Structure 1
Amino acid sequence: METGMETLGEVRRELLNITATRYLSGEMQIMLYDHLLTFADEVEYIWKAKWSLPKAFFLVLRYVVPTAMIIHTYQMSGLGNVNLSDAQTLNSSSSCRGWLTTGLYLGVAAISIGNFIVLLRLWVIWERNARLLIFTLTIFIITQISTLAVATYMVVHWISDMLFLSQIHMCGLTHKPPMVWLWAPGLVFEVMVFSLALWNALSRPITVSPAGDSLYRDGLGYFVVIALRVLNLILSVAAHISLMFLGIFFIWAATTVTVSRLVFHFRRLSTVCLVQRMQDEEDPSPQLSRQETRATVDKYLRVLNSVDETVVQTSEEEYELCEGAPAGTSITISEVTISGSSTNLTRKERDA
């Protein structure tokens, strides 16, 4: 009797774990909803841009991931009345092993593309520093090759453990593979990117770079992705086999959403700066950089404050920045009035 109760308890735990995994796969709906919200930005900033490798990578990430997640949700989550075979072949559309293998490689490719796009943005905020570029590119190549090698090793050695559970209409594994080695390389890369972005943010004023500001706004999302990577790493080591895939769909969707919004923010800021640069070219008035404007104001204040008879008054005026601050924000500079005569030092700032 006690053995029977233990068996029922084990079955109940397995079903609860599977249910939790299915609930977290609902992140696909959030990703699709975000896709609809940002579709106008995609048309404006991606489709209208000239073709390039980053654009092609972005569109692959943008559309292949949702398509793959929809197929996997239908085929293997139990939502559809689909029965897959346990055949050893990998190229059969009705093989559970084939679907899991395809999904594994698609996941590796999608996350690699997302990491590369983020790496391109990291190079921008570091002003394409040659040493940093070589270092980060080397780490990227090493981690991605390591991830691909681990994925291939898992497919070769653990394919026989993949089977279709007809009772719950879901694919599963009979033994727990060493997933920790699959997640570890990507986690190393993302921690490196996050650390370098944080270092860049702390080493300069927040308003210096709109590219940096875009990373600040999306930093929380990227931090959440890293936290999910850590969760997967912990689950792959400590959790039961039925919880091993708990965060995979969630990470897949969260990575796509975070990278997409990061790209849109950068493209939007680049467009704003381009418009302002064109306006500057049409305006023949003298242009002062931010540093020149500040230095000029300080110079006047130092000179005027040394003369007792001179009355110095300052007023505040807001003006928009392109390279110096995020779009839509402003800073204030001083207008100095000397004995009733006004010397306006305010200038529209040139895009550096």
Structure 2
Amino acid sequence: MADAAAKMAATLAFAQKIIDSGSLTIRVPYVDMAACVIFVWDYILTFELEFEHIWKAKWNVIKVVYLVQRYLPFIDSCYLGMYRQLAYHIPLKECRILPFASGLTSIVGISLAESFRVYAVWARNKYIAMGLIIVGMVLTGMAGMSIYADSLKFFDLSTVGLNRPGCFVIAAGGGNSIVLIWTALMAWNTLTMVLMLIPGYRVYRTGIKSELWSVLFKDVLSILNIIFATNPRPALRVVITVLERTLHTVLASRVTLHMREQVTRGREKTAATEVELQTTRINFYHPSKQADNSTVQPLSSVLVV
């Protein structure tokens, strides 16, 4: 009996060492942490633009949508995601709720971010934007994440004396649920990419060279990064999920900020041109009513606008 207990203790100690070394688990927390660092760093870099072009602007639907999609990653990726990965002694009930909560808010953020970009290039077509938001949330959000969250099975390692942070998943993605979710997400992202390429092709056909459109599509076509997320094996897709989610928000936010910055620069250039023209004075003269017709006096100075 004593020998059996000793062997069990040795086995648990060995398993604990393997878990601590990361040999049995994909190092998802490291990638998730890197994703959050990238997101926060980008937020710091673009905060000046955001304050100037978003916070100072009047409140409207566009401003609300921008702020929602911009700040959701702080909740779903940097808080809920890190808590689920790094906290100790999380109850199994919370472990079952956290994937659905963080996943659903992530899908909402991605839907808003991508629809926001399509909305920008389609001349603020609200019907297309609303359609994309609804389809994205329903297909990959409420349906997909609920199926995925229900398929997760957790085990409390503390019951066998092991000390490990986060929720320990022992089973995930029953059947083809993972494949179906990623296929739906890929199809939806492909649709948004096509919708963004159509206006770009039209502008290209006209031969018009616009600095604003160049800035816009330089950021918009970055949606192609979704192809990278669909290529790896299912196990690796889980690793880059948070990274992919934060990149959607980063890129969509930069599209909006760069557009508004470019528009502001255009207005400043126009205003500078007007000021330059206004300083050009054209003097009109007419013969004086005095006897001395050789003397001419300025009649007026006209500001050319």
TM-score, structure 1 normalization = 0.61
Query: Following the alignment from structure 1 to structure 2, what is the Cα–Cα distance between the partners of residues 164 and 57?
Result: 39
Query: Following the alignment from structure 1 to structure 2, what is the Cα–Cα distance between the partners of residues 137 and 67?
Result: 23
Residue of structure 2 equivalent to 1:216:
217
The answer (yes or no) to whether the contact 1:122–1:193 under 8 Å persists in 2 is no
Corresponding residue to 1:235 among 212, 233, 236: 233
- Paired residues for 1:72-151 under 5 Å: 72-78=80-86, 80=87, 82-87=88-93, 95-124=94-123, 138=131, 140-147=133-140, 148-151=142-145
Corresponding residue to 2:59 among 51, 56, 66: 51
The answer (yes or no) to whether the contact 1:183–1:229 under 8 Å persists in 2 is no
Residue of structure 2 equivalent to 1:327:
none
Q: What's the Cα RMSD here?
A: 3.3
SS in 2 for 1:227: helix
SS in 1 for 2:183: helix
Corresponding residue to 2:25 among 12, 18, 29: 18
Query: Following the alignment from structure 1 to structure 2, what is the Cα–Cα distance between the partners of residues 17 and 193?
Result: 38
SS in 2 for 1:169: coil
SS in 2 for 1:173: strand
Gaps in structure 2 of 5+ consecutive residues: 1-10, 280-305
The answer (yes or no) to whether the contact 1:96–1:164 under 8 Å persists in 2 is no
How many Å apart are 1:113 and its aligned residue? 1.3
What is the CA deviation profile of residues 302-352 of structure 1, one whole-angstrom value per residue up to 9, with x for unaligned ones? xxxxxxxxxxxxxxxxxxxxxxxxxxxxxxxxxxxxxxxxxxxxxxxxxxx
The answer (yes or no) to whether the contact 1:31–1:254 under 8 Å persists in 2 is yes
Residue 86 of structure 1 aligns with an amino acid whose one-letter code is: L
The answer (yes or no) to whether the contact 1:86–1:96 under 8 Å persists in 2 is yes
Q: 1:264 to 1:135 in 2, by over 3 A?
A: closer
Query: Following the alignment from structure 1 to structure 2, what is the Cα–Cα distance between the partners of residues 67 and 140?
Result: 20
Q: 1:20 to 1:173 in 2, by over 3 A?
A: closer
User: Alignment length, in residue pairs?
Assistant: 252
Corresponding residue to 1:176 among 172, 176, 182: 172
What is the CA deviation profile of residues 50-75 of structure 1, one whole-angstrom value per residue up to 9, with x for unaligned ones? 11112112112222212332223542
Q: Which is higher, the Rg of structure 1 or of structure 2?
A: 2
Residue 271 of structure 1 aligns with an amino acid whose one-letter code is: T
The answer (yes or no) to whether the contact 2:110–2:248 under 8 Å persists in 1 is yes
Residue of structure 2 equivalent to 1:28:
36
Higher helix proportion, which one? 2
The answer (yes or no) to whether the contact 1:207–1:213 under 8 Å persists in 2 is no
How many Å apart are 1:40 and its aligned residue? 0.4
Identity of aligned residues (%): 19
Q: Does 1:266 align with 2:259?
A: yes
SS in 1 for 2:77: helix
Residue 229 of structure 1 aligns with an amino acid whose one-letter code is: A
The answer (yes or no) to whether the contact 2:31–2:240 under 8 Å persists in 1 is yes
**Greater relative contact order (CA < 8 Å, ≥ 6 in sequence):** 2
Q: 1:211 to 1:179 in 2, by over 3 A?
A: farther
How many Å apart are 1:182 and its aligned residue? 2.2
Query: Following the alignment from structure 1 to structure 2, what is the Cα–Cα distance between the partners of residues 111 and 135?
Result: 16
TM-score, structure 2 normalization = 0.70
The answer (yes or no) to whether the contact 2:148–2:172 under 8 Å persists in 1 is no
Residue 21 of structure 1 aligns with an amino acid whose one-letter code is: V
How many Å apart are 1:107 and its aligned residue? 1.0
The answer (yes or no) to whether the contact 1:84–1:96 under 8 Å persists in 2 is yes
Gaps in structure 1 of 5+ consecutive residues: 88-94, 286-352
What is the CA deviation profile of residues 116-171 of structure 1, one whole-angstrom value per residue up to 9, with x for unaligned ones? 211211213xx85xxxx75675455334321222223344x436x24455543122
Residue 18 of structure 1 aligns with an amino acid whose one-letter code is: T
